[in-house]
């Protein structure tokens, strides 16, 4: 194994651990919807939710980095340049995350001053980490980019996938700089903040996962490079074509000029197209290889990624992307339903697929089998789809009673919070959330033990009598 692949395994361990912490805070936050007053003034919803979504961004980012550190030396046939620096950065990142989490839990609030910005919380959804930690993240991403570019230069080899990946690093890095707030006008501030949120998840991250899935497909099914690269180019062209102006679907109601209604409505309605391309691509490849692979869990998670991305991001996003509908659905649990389905489908499933790819090699297993991965795959996906459905019901109840009937007043908002359908949806989400959490526990158990018996047999053979 290359040194960079050992680093990749560390990233995966950290990512899976953070995934678990994310679930704990998700469960706490959803319990707070059901029992108001639960942990009131001890760990308020604002804190549990912040921890839930910040750990999500970080575990996925760490997962992506693991995927790239895993595939990079294989793709370029040499170890990664600057690997020592990358290893140091891993520990810096882990320490920063632990420190920020401790501050969020134990300090929680600060005054509205520069000190709070630097050391407690910057207050922008998804990128709340205080400034010092945000600088740390910038450094980690810089080193990551350096690793990739320098290795490609040293290897004197730029494959199509590598080319796309390297170009993608530029906006991935540059957009994060928007996480450092300076703007005091709320509309202008949101205008730019959406660049970060939307262009990350619907632009640079989509391209990144496209590259990762292309590399995984070649490995899992032995698909020809020519085919995966052609698809990748088509997907990237479409993602950029629709995603950039699709940004407009967040500009409907924040005080931006009215032309955004038309631009956002039109271009974001086209956004499902590249995602449809990705699902067709994956299914087509799996079909031509008769789903034959020695790593079933990885292939199943990859299929979940393709369909989840299309359904969660494409279809569920499309549902409320037209301004005529968004007027009613904006900021309700309907949005939360799409947010969960999209992040889960597009990114979490993809990372889990590569984790299984890496485990197969790390443990030297000819075939990945067993029953546990099936249980975790089933429980996690069943739990997620259940949560997504429950949230959709609550969201539609809100859109109907709070907006359409209630006329979007504050009183209508409060009334809708005690609407029976809304509450039933919230209860159901908690139940499915628990199932999801059980699925996570099985996943961890499986990752720790898969191929265990086989490994000991192998070890026994190797041991001298």
Kindly identify the residues of this chain, within the stretch 105-134, that bind ligand HEM according to CB under 6 A: 125
Q: Which does 52 bind (CB under 5 to 8 A by kind): Fe ion, ligand HEM, none?
A: ligand HEM
- Tokens representing 154 are 């040293």
Work out whether 52 is an interface residue with Fe ion (CB under 5 A).
Answer: no
Each residue 416-455 as x (binds ligand HEM by CB under 6 A) or -, in order, gives -----------------x--xx------------------
Rounded Cα distance between 350 and 306, Å, is 8
Q: How many CB atoms lie within 10 A of CB 23?
A: 21
Q: Which does 23 bind (CB under 5 to 8 A by kind): ligand HEM, Fe ion, none?
A: ligand HEM
Work out whether 403 is an interface residue with ligand HEM (CB under 6 A).
Answer: no
Q: Which residues contact 328 (CB under 8 A, 6 or more apart)?
A: 399, 400, 403, 404
Work out whether 330 is an interface residue with Fe ion (CB under 5 A).
Answer: no
At closest approach, how far in Å is the CB of 113 from ligand HEM? Answer: 26
Rounded Cα distance between 369 and 52, Å, is 32
CA atoms within 13 A on the CB side of 191: 11
Rounded Cα distance between 107 and 290, Å, is 55
Q: Which residues contact 373 (CB under 8 A, 6 or more apart)?
A: 296, 297, 300, 356, 443, 446, 450
Q: Which of 233, 305, 322 is nearest to 271 (CA)?
A: 322
Residue listed under structure tokens 């922008």? 124
Work out whether 296 is an interface residue with ligand HEM (CB under 6 A).
Answer: no
Work out whether 338 is an interface residue with Fe ion (CB under 5 A).
Answer: no
- For 101-138, letters b (16+ CB in 10 Å) and e give bebbeeebebeeeeebbebbbbebebbbbbbebbebbe
Closer residue to ligand HEM (CB): 82 or 317:
317
Q: Which residue's beta carbon is nearest to the bound ligand HEM?
A: 317
Interface with ligand HEM (CB under 6 A), residue total: 40
Q: Which does 223 bind (CB under 5 to 8 A by kind): Fe ion, ligand HEM, none?
A: none
Single residue of 52, 124, 131, 198 touching Fe ion by CB under 5 A: 198
Work out whether 330 is an interface residue with ligand HEM (CB under 6 A).
Answer: yes
Q: Which of 274, 428, 287, 264 is nearest to 346 (CA)?
A: 274
Residues forming contacts to ligand HEM in the complex (CB under 6 A) are: 23, 26-27, 29-30, 49, 52-53, 56, 125, 201-202, 206, 249-250, 268, 271-272, 313-314, 317-318, 320-321, 326, 330-331, 335-336, 338-340, 342-344, 346, 348, 433, 436-437
Residues forming contacts to Fe ion in the complex (CB under 5 A) are: 198, 202
């Amino acid at each position: 194994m290359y040194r960079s692949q050992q680093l990749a395994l560390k990233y995966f361990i950290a990512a899976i651990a953070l995934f678990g912490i994310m679930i704990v805070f998700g469960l706490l936050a959803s319990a707070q919807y059901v029992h108001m007053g639960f942990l009131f003034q001890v760990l308020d919803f604002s804190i549990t939710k912040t921890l839930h979504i910040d750990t999500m961004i970080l575990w996925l980012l760490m997962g992506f980095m693991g995927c790239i550190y895993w595939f990079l030396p294989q793709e370029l046939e040499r170890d990664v340049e600057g690997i020592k620096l990358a290893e140091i950065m891993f520990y810096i990142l882990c320490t920063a995350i632990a420190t920020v989490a401790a501050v969020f839990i134990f300090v929680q609030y600060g005054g509205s001053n520069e000190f709070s910005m630097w050391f407690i919380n910057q207050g922008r959804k998804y990128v709340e980490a205080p400034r010092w930690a945000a600088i740390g993240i910038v450094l980690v991403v810089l080193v990551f980019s350096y690793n990739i570019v320098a290795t490609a230069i040293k290897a004197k080899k730029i494959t199509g996938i590598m080319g796309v990946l390297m170009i993608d690093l530029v906006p991935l890095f540059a957009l994060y700089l928007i996480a450092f707030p300076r703007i005091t006008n709320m509309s202008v501030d949101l205008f730019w903040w959406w660049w970060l949120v939307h262009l990350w998840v619907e632009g640079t991250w989509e391209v990144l996962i496209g590259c990762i899935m292309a590399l995984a497909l070649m490995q899992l099914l032995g698909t020809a490079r020519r085919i995966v690269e052609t698809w990748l180019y088509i997907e990237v062209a479409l993602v950029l074509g629709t995603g950039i102006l699709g940004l407009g679907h967040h500009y409907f109601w924040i005080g931006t000029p009215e032309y955004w209604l038309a631009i956002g409505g039109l271009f974001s309605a086209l956004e499902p197209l590249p995602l449809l391309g990705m699902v067709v691509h994956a299914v087509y490849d799996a079909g031509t290889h008769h789903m034959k692979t020695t790593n079933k869990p990885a292939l199943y998670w990859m299929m979940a990624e393709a369909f989840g991305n299309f359904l969660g991001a494409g279809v569920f996003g499309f549902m409320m992307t037209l301004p005529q509908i968004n007027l009613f659905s904006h900021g309700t649990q309907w949005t939360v339903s799409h947010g969960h389905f999209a992040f889960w489908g597009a990114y979490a499933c993809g990372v889990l697929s590569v984790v299984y790819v890496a485990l197969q090699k790390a443990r030297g297993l000819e075939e990945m089998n067993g029953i546990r991965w099936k249980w975790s795959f089933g429980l996690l996906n069943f739990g997620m789809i259940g949560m997504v459905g429950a949230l959709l019901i609550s969201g539609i109840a809100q859109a109907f009673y709070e907006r359409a009937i209630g006329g979007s007043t504050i009183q209508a908002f409060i009334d809708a919070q005690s609407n029976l359908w809304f509450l039933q949806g919230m209860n159901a989400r908690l139940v499915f959330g628990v199932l999801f959490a059980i699925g996570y526990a099985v996943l961890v158990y499986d990752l720790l033990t898969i191929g265990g018996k086989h490994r000991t047999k192998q070890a026994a053979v190797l041991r001298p009598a």
